[in-house]
Structure 1
Amino acid sequence: MHDDSVTVSAPGAPDIELADLVERIDARRFRLIGRRNDMVKIAGRRASLSALNTILTNLPGVEDGAFVPPNTDDGHTMRMQVLAVAPGVSAADILAGLRKQIDPVFLPRTITFVEAMPRNSVGKLTAGALREFATTVMEGQIIGEIAFPANHPALPGHFPGLPVVPGALLLDCGLDLAGLSPAKIDQVKFLRPVRPEETLCFRLRRESGRLTLSARVANTANAPLVLRAIMRTQSD
């Protein structure tokens, strides 16, 4: 046992690392923490996603729902998020119910209500389907992808020997993909340098009279967020 992982060894056979996490109690005993792919760790504390989801769906009025783990590549989103099917229930009610039963570090940053969860034909909610659904709900629909070639005229001076796509160029291309001419941009965050040839996936979300434009590196596991802009349209 090493770093909470368990490896089984036998003479004449290769070592096998199990998918369980354990905590050593003493030389002869251990406590099972849970399955490796079911655990989420925040601020040094662990919790089982299935246990959190059970607490959520057992709250009064919650018909279905799930916790969405934070994307560890997004420095500003190191808190859980919740998607819930709960007609007539407020986010404050759900948060109050969760606060009574779970460690505060796992309380969600946002609670978003949806009509249905993306379960498959046998009722299973896969991690991949949940992540894609959560991204669409929270960041909007995909409006396009773009990559900046290494010979783009904006790159040679930005910066010599270590080219980075200028933030103004990222924002301009995103607005062009969205077909937007905003009267005001309330907030823009550039969260990660973008290198030449990296393909970015842009999304647009419309909510409460505001638009949120975001971009992530495409075709990458736990794709990092590189741009987020909140704005209003000319008609607002």
Structure 2
Amino acid sequence: MQIVSYLRVSTARQGSSGLGLEAQRAAVAGFAAAGACTVVSEFAEVESGAKNRRPQLAAALAACKLHRATLVIAKLDRLARNVAFIANLMDGGVEFVACDLPHANRLTLHLLAAIAEHEREMISQRTKAALQAAKARGVRLGNPNGAAALLDGCKTAARASAAVRQAKAARHAAAVAPIALSLAKDGLNNREIARELNRRGVPSQSGNGWYAEQVRRTLLRLQVSLAA
């Protein structure tokens, strides 16, 4: 079985340090080894589980459709803490498995997603209550040094975001490599390759269809990868 790995952490600090990601990657690797599965792509995201807009998850789902693969996550709450999101995903035509619940059925997944959503809401309420109590006691909230104190964190987050984008581009290029390189060897130019990829329904990295410049960048990444 071919699988696509999806990893998620909630903060930029976790994403840049690897905390959380390595444990999830190890869980997916263990699942793949136990089932003699092949990991065709890996996608990592730094985003809150409360948010439904996930570019990396969308790319992972596109890769699943491209390779006819199964989406694998380390834990169900890494996918989402939202019942509606999980329900829509289950109806989206892509099979997915959580390593901590490999044999869970649709009912079990709905129930666990509901519990995770409730837990997220309770955490949010407790955090707000604690901040209000601290403010009532006269505690000054926020960083006394202002925005300047956040500069190092912003730089770290920007570097982590750039690394994630570059890794995403490289993984997508690798996913379409067999088709793109075959078309290039047949003598098609970049515009013709883009037209053929769109005709075959191969998803582009942006999800908005292929055009000549995208094909040029993809082929360039593939050449660099092959040279390395």
* Structure with greater Cα Rg: 1
Query: By the TM > 0.5 criterion, same fold?
Result: no
* More helix, by proportion: 2
TM-score, length basis structure 1: 0.27
Query: Does 1 or 2 have the higher relative contact order (CA < 8 Å, sep 6+)?
Result: 2
TM-score, length basis structure 2: 0.28
